[in-house]
Structure 1
Amino acid sequence: MAHKAEQQTQQLSIRAKVYSPFKVYFDDNALSISAVNATGPFDILPRHHNFITLLSPCELLIRTPRGDQKIRISGGIMHVKADKVTVFLDV
Structure 2
Amino acid sequence: MKILTGNDLKTGEVIWWTGTAWSIYVDDAADVGERGEEILAAEEAARRVNVPYLLEATREEDGHIRPAHIKDRVRALGPTVRPDLTLKPQDPAALDWVI
TM-score norm. by structure 1 comes to 0.25
Structure 1 or 2: larger helix share?
Answer: 2
Higher relative contact order (CA 8 A, sep 6+): 1
TM, length-normalised to structure 2:
0.24
Higher strand content, 1 or 2? 1
